[in-house]
Amino acid sequence: MLAHMARRPEWVKVVETSAGKRYEVRVHASRPDGTRFQHKKRFKAVEEAVKWRSTLISEVAHGTHVAPAELTVQQAVESWLQGQRIRPKTMSAYVTALRPIVDHLGDRRVQSITKDDIEQVVQALRDGKSAMGTWNAPEKLKGKKTRAAWSPASINPMLAHTRSVFADLVDQGAVARNVAALVKPLPSERAKLNTLDAEQIATLLKSTAGQTLDIAWRLALNGMRRGEILALRWDDVDLTAKTLAISAARLAIPGGSETGAPKTTSSIRELPLTSDLTVALRRERKRQSELKLFLGEKWADTGLVVVDEFGKPPHPDTVTHAWADALKDAGLPHVRLHDARHSCATLMHLNGVPETVIAAWLGHTDARFTLSVYTHSTNSALADAAAKLDVITAGSTARPAK
């Protein structure tokens, strides 16, 4: 029908260009926030111009049109991060995950980003060819041109956060669809949980006895997170009642560390002290009291349980490096400090302690998560259970003579 139009609508303007005659259409409308914008586009045929204008006006009327905007990917990421209500440590992890997206696409308009753009970022990370930028880059990374290859365990969080950024943009009407949601996560396997067995724990504690951070390792092996250990104060320890209260965490942030709320509300808990840990804490408090008398004003009276030789709180990363050195010096295989706390939980699991109790001890929100963490020890637990069942049922298999 359009092909037989008697005349050109007056709102279709004829424009002479270097490529020949073109038909220009302009549409004025408002964004959801009330600001005005103008769409201008040129076509080779009048029919195309009329069809485009009709579609656009219909979208505006129904509230489905996304107006052109100058918002960049970097601006969108920064805006999304500002809206998150998360701890500094978690914020640092989000920034690290999103850094490749900003480095690759940061100056691009969000409306210009396609699925292929994000796929290219993923491929560059997998190949170890991701160009390093300067957006929120720590000093140790500045000057580095290319990232080492990322594993699926690192790439998938980047994709998850990018999907969240674009989902927020869709909700705001800044983009028409979430292109990041079209990019599939990479297949990955849960990393095997490595823990220390009872004999290895004894070896480590014997090797580190008397060292400054010996008490930190004992607290870790009793189920505490690194941040919880470093925020623990002597006021939280009741050596008479033999209890220990966990209500804070000290986490690494750019430029230092910060004490705040623990990971979750379930992380706030009170634990009974084992006899061995009670003795170790008494010994550590005595050691610090003697150092305070010896050093005088040089001693930093922070009230913290884990301190360096001058009473100052060590940086969380310093503690992690010291843990690795302690394992090496003791001739033990490397186990992450975070997984050290799971060593006691694994021993609890193998000795029949209920998952709900282990979850409460570790400060997990859900016992099902706790159980999933320790599935690697289930085979041993089942073998032990079979042996016990065999003992119980052995006497009932013989039938009485008739």
- Rounded Cα–Cα distance for residues 16 and 23 (Å): 9
Residue 121 has a pLDDT of: 97
Please say whether the beta carbons of 104 and 131 come within 8 A.
Answer: yes
Residue recorded with tokens 């095997």? 192
The mean pLDDT of 10-27, rounded to a whole number, is 86
pLDDT at 225 over 70: yes
202 backbone φψ class: left, alpha, beta (φ>0; ψ -120 to 50): alpha
The mean pLDDT of 168-175, rounded to a whole number, is 84
Q: What are phi and psi of 30, to 5 degrees?
A: -120, 145
Residue 211 has a pLDDT of: 92
**DSSP string spanning 31-81?**
-TTS-EEEEEEEESSHHHHHHHHHHHHHHHHHT--------BHHHHHHHHH
Of 36 and 308, the structure prediction assigns the larger pLDDT to: 308
pLDDT at 124 over 90: yes
Q: What are phi and psi of 125, to 5 degrees?
A: -70, -40
Return the percentage of the chain with pLDDT > 90, whole number: 39
Of 307 and 192, the structure prediction assigns the larger pLDDT to: 307
Residue 224 has a pLDDT of: 86
- Rounded Cα–Cα distance for residues 346 and 349 (Å): 5
| DSSP state at residue 29 | E
Q: How many CA atoms lie within 13 A of 336 on its CB side?
A: 9
Please say whether the beta carbons of 237 and 224 come within 8 A.
Answer: no
Residue 319 has a pLDDT of: 95
Q: What is the CA radius of gyration of the chain?
A: 31
Quote the tokens at residue 49: 């111009």
Residue 172 has a pLDDT of: 79
Instruction: Output the average pLDDT for the chain.
Output: 82
Residue 287 has a pLDDT of: 94
Q: Which of 96-110, 189-203, 210-224 has the lowest mean pLDDT?
A: 189-203
- 41-96 pLDDT tens trace: 888 888 888 888 888 777 777 666 555 567 899 999 999 998 898 877 788 889 99
Residue 402 has a pLDDT of: 44
- The residue count of the chain comes to 402
Return the percentage of the chain with pLDDT > 70, whole number: 77
pLDDT band at 360 (very low <50, low <70, confident <90, very high): low
pLDDT at 147 over 60: yes
- 296-344 pLDDT tens trace: 999 999 999 999 999 999 999 999 999 999 999 999 999 988 888 877 7
Quote the tokens at residue 100: 């490749």
- Rounded Cα–Cα distance for residues 236 and 251 (Å): 18
Residue 388 has a pLDDT of: 46
Domains, the chain, in order of start with CATH, read 2-62 (no CATH), 73-182 (1.10.150.130), 198-384 (1.10.443.10)
Instruction: Give the Cα-Cα-Cα angle 282, 285, 290 (nearest 5 degrees).
Output: 125
pLDDT at 399 over 70: no
Residues 6 or more apart whose CB falls under 8 angstroms from that of 127 comprise 149
Taking alpha carbons only, the member of 184, 185, 181, 157 closest to residue 170 is: 181
Residue 78 has a pLDDT of: 93
pLDDT band at 401 (very low <50, low <70, confident <90, very high): very low
Identity of residue 312 = K
Q: What is the dihedral of CA 147, 149, 151, 156, to 10 degrees?
A: 50
For the four alpha carbons of 261, 266, 272 and 277, in that order, the dihedral sign comes to negative
The mean pLDDT of 251-272, rounded to a whole number, is 81
Of 234 and 262, the structure prediction assigns the larger pLDDT to: 234
Which pTM value belongs to this model?
A: 0.59
